[in-house]
A and B are shown apart, each in its own frame.
Chain A
């Protein structure tokens, strides 16, 4: 028992079929390797949970088309079990196997390789099927070079190459028969066994005939009639006449007098979800492949030995590595390293409570990539998120607060869905959408999908392509106001990647994401939306990086040339998936203004190069974007976003309710927006900055007007006296330049207040050229402020010693 408990999962490995030669598919692209197809198909198996099925934990693609399958194990296999079972035990085992297969058939999965070595039973009599998905993941065995299943369990029609789900019934019948009368044909080689099975075709009662062949007719006849009845209903030659599992289950349950095995879930580590255990085990240093090597399941032979003897001109090979049969051995893994790693954790910590104050880990200060690899940190985070997600949607705000810290990669799909407010019967809604009827857009989608994030093994397989197409078609159909813009494929990819087996949720996430972050971006005529977005991006760049912005303005390097794919796809066309997920983690928490700052974050990392470069060098830099530190970019963008008044990043084309309060309005006509290089600030934001003493107003009206009444604390730089050609603060005069220098040092916001828009624009541009950061224009100018907040106005004190 103790020994059994130590092993929680095991792996087996095999080679996928090699495509002969280097042939191309009809689209001119190389054929997808079989291992990639298998990987894609197997994803679904990872989501299947049933008490009589060993949970699949991982499918790994190794070198040379190798596939490694990791799955739960319990006890030992029927093949290893030497003692005989009592009739009651046989029935109990039968019920559990039938239960598992019945469930699989409901899911549309055929086992086809049921045998005594993939039926596991533990000391309590609990039965689970191991690696039941071989036939499914290999697309009916098409993607592997070896036959599936052990000969003695194959049904006659399987041998004749026409197997359907009912082949499982036959195999089940043989298993039952073996449990009752002992192993069949144990001395025969595969060939003769197959021949024996085929001769059964002529038998009236194959079960009896087999029993007779094994000199067990009497003991067979001595079995209770109802069991024989079940066996004989299974061992029927014609697949159509065989029973189904639900029928068999009905019969077996009636004669089963054993209580269902009720296993108490152990407390502590072993009570955690198996997927978590596997994840932590890997983080703690668990290595699937080295164990396989140690057990001789992966053998390293010199490459020369696997070279073909000859290669034909068309690329086909002769000789060389033989297609081996399926290696049925498994390597079991002990959880010991994980247990040691987490030994010091108090039992209390396995059950975190929502209302408890959480102790802060030091790890929080480390970069995200390191946190994601820290066993202990992920242990705490996963358990905590499991709790929170369990209570979703009632725990939304807690999830958001925790997601702000970081999101454990293992539950990222769930957390994103929660952040996007996805809940309800999304499967049903998705089911109702027509994803198949051809549309004129299909051609474009078809040419784009095989180019979309194809380095990712999930997305480059057939399953990935098909699902991505369905998602795009479904989205277009449910959003008739929108059209397919290239880039929509890249945008959908992260959701598919995280919800590979939950298409409906991927769709729901996409459907929630677009209105929030890309409202109106996919309109047939989206030029106004994009123009506004880019103009805002440019203004924000000017706000935070005046020197860089001035330089890029000078060389006429406009964002239209490089930033369209950034924002249209929320960077999903620009970065690989492992970077996108970190960008979007932040995006989903912070909200729709963050992407603007992320764009700026990227510019900032390239700042020095850009400042040194002319137009061509700049554009070359963006055509082949250098490595960007995403962690740094996210950090900087969040900081900038939080330090920027909301009205600065205001856009008209958002999904947010229209702003009515004149204090909050900053909207200007598009031509004005495009003409202004500095953003506008609303009266409200101005007011709150003033209250916090975080801004300085530069009043550029004439001295006369200023003396009459001015904003408290403002300085006066009459526009008429400014020499726009001299890009130095000193040129503004002693007092203003001193004040502004102080303001810059204290990182305050500089607010230009004027009586006319035009002078405000020109003067703010001047300040930018003087490299003054955080310059913005007071919306509505002095007069608007005077009419809404007259209390801010005063008569300036007469200053001595100033001109």
Chain B
């Protein structure tokens, strides 16, 4: 079942890859749903914006409900396409969160290194994901705002120890300086099981890739 799914993927890739001028036709495309969670104003939207558009806004507006963006990463032999759900941080929007992390293959739980409370909240998110999300989910912990290390309230070692204990990827990031932003997504991409992704995708990623890619390619050609 899973191999079949991957074959489908590969075929889909070959088809669209041939139309792209710089696409390497032999690479396979894997699609993953990734969700960002964490207390409000820790920089979730900023991380996504930096990763997807390479931009940083000092006054990034608060996210209500959720925002959705996609970005593609190229590994050696695979193209990884992230469907990123950036969620609202305020505790009250918590009830909406399962809608977004349901079926996600990866999650980045973000906290602000200058604020201890946000680290506590991050731990709660990790717990919730371990309990509720799909068991194979890859979780990364991101200590954001590392450019403000002078005001640090969460020690690197403390977070690293916590991450090790829970089997999380961990990096300190800075959306402002772009430090470790691409790296954390890359690390997730590397850790995700590529062979299974097509069939294992609970969100039906493979199906969406098929109907999703078509219109975009056609607009390119117009």
Contacts and interface: CB of A to CB of B under 8 A. Distances in A.
A450 B212 contact: no
Given A448-B40, A614-B215, 13 more contacts: A28-B151, A447-B41, A448-B41, A452-B62, A484-B92, A485-B92, A561-B68, A564-B65, A565-B64, A616-B70, A616-B83, A616-B212, A620-B70
A617 B83 CA distance: 11
Interface string B59-98: 1111111111110000000000001000011101101100
A612 interface: yes
Interface in A188-214: none
B41 A561 contact: no
Given A29-B58, A569-B64, A617 B41 contact: no
Nearest to A454: B59
A450 B59 CA distance: 7
Contacts of A467: none
Contacts of A460: 59
Contacts of B69: 620, 623-624
A26 B151 CA distance: 9
Nearest to A526: B92
A520 interface: no
Most buried by A among B40, B68, B145: B68
Interface string A573-611: 100000000000000000000000000000000000000
Interface of B: 40-41, 58-70, 83, 88-90, 92-93, 95-96, 99, 114, 145, 148, 151, 208, 211-212, 214-216
A483 B211 contact: no
A460 B95 CA distance: 31
Contacts of B62: 447-448, 451-452, 486-487, 489, 573
B41 A614 contact: no
A613 B215 contact: yes
Given A28-B148, A486-B40, A617-B215, A451 B68 contact: no
B41 A451 contact: yes
Contact of B90 (A451, A486, A527, A612): A486
A435 B217 CA distance: 55
Given A451-B60, A451-B62, A615-B208, A444 B90 contact: yes
A28, A485, A555: most-surrounded residue (chain B CB, <10 A) = A28
Nearest to A455: B59
Contact of B216 (A26, A28, A30, A617): A617
Nearest to A28: B148
Contacts of B151: 26, 28
30 contacts: A26-B151, A28-B114, A28-B145, A28-B148, A28-B151, A29-B58, A444-B40, A447-B62, A448-B40, A451-B59, A455-B59, A483-B92, A485-B90, A486-B63, A486-B90, A487-B62, A487-B64, A489-B62, A555-B211, A561-B65, A561-B68, A564-B96, A614-B211, A614-B212, A614-B214, A614-B215, A616-B70, A617-B215, A620-B68, A623-B69
B59 A619 contact: no
Nearest to B95: A527
Interface string A10-29: 00000000000000101011
A562 interface: yes
A40 to B, nearest CB: 16
Nearest to B92: A485
Interface string A472-512: 00000000000111110100000000000000000000000
A560 interface: yes
A422 interface: no
B99 A560 contact: yes
A568 interface: yes
Contacts of B148: 24, 28
Nearest to A525: B95
A565 B40 CA distance: 16
Nearest to B90: A486
Contacts of A454: 59
Contacts of A451: 41, 59-62
B83 A562 contact: no
Contact of A623 (B41, B67, B216): B67
Nearest to B59: A454
A527 B68 CA distance: 21
B208 A614 contact: yes
A448 B88 CA distance: 12
B44 to A, nearest CB: 12
B110 to A, nearest CB: 14
Interface in A546-582: 555, 560-562, 564-565, 568-569, 573
B65 A619 contact: no
Contacts of A486: 40, 62-64, 88-90, 92-93
A573 B83 contact: no
A679 B38 CA distance: 38
Nearest to A483: B92
A612 B217 CA distance: 12
Interface string A403-426: 000000000000000000000000
B47 to A, nearest CB: 14
Nearest to B214: A614
Contacts of B63: 486
Interface string A431-473: 0000000000000100110111011000010000000000000
A573 B61 contact: yes
Given A486-B92, A612-B215, A614-B212, A619 B61 contact: no
A579 B206 CA distance: 39
A469 to B, nearest CB: 15
A617 B92 CA distance: 28
Contacts of A450: 59
A452 B61 contact: yes
Contacts of A564: 64-65, 96
A485 B148 CA distance: 28
Nearest to B145: A28
B183 to A, nearest CB: 21
B212 to A, nearest CB: 4
Nearest to A560: B99
Nearest to A609: B215
Interface in A498-549: 524, 527
Given A447-B40, A448-B62, A486-B88, A619 B99 contact: no
Nearest to B176: A28
A448 B40 CA distance: 9
A30 B96 CA distance: 32
A22 B88 CA distance: 30
Interface string A248-280: 000000000000000000000000000000000
A489 B63 CA distance: 12
Contacts of A573: 61-62, 64
A489 B60 CA distance: 14
Contacts of B60: 451
Contacts of B41: 447-448, 451
Nearest to B89: A486
B55 to A, nearest CB: 12
Nearest to B211: A614
Nearest to B112: A28
Given A29-B59, A620-B70, A568 B64 contact: yes
Contacts of A616: 68, 70, 83, 208, 212
Q: Which 4 A-B pairs have the closest CB atoms?
A: A447-B41, A565-B64, A454-B59, A564-B65
